[in-house]
Amino acid sequence: MDVRKVAELAHLELTEEEAAIYQPQMQQIVRYVEQLNELDLNGVKPMIGGLTEEGERTAAFREDEICPSFTPEEALAEAPAAAEGHFKVPKVL
């Protein structure tokens, strides 16, 4: 995993010192996540978007709570590109 490529995709600038610090940390994170591939999932039924196979909702573990959020201006302040109050992204079709 190349920390510079990930930084580029996230529109982040890294110094040489930061890249040297973050590269081993990123490799450690990826190794940790790869441990999931070692799990035996035979007999474990996959969930589909919080629904059971029959389409019923699954049980919630906590109540929904209203929390403070960003204003549109705050959300767009760090966006690489914005237009008319929206995030501007490359066309995919």
- Look at residue 91 and tell me whether its pLDDT is greater than 70: yes
| Paired residues of 51 in beta bridges | 48, 57
Q: Is the pLDDT of residue 40 over 70?
A: yes
Beta bridge pairs of residue 48: 51
Residue 8 has pLDDT above 80, yes or no: yes
pLDDT of residue 4: 93
- pLDDT for 22: 95
| pLDDT for the residue numbered 50 | 67
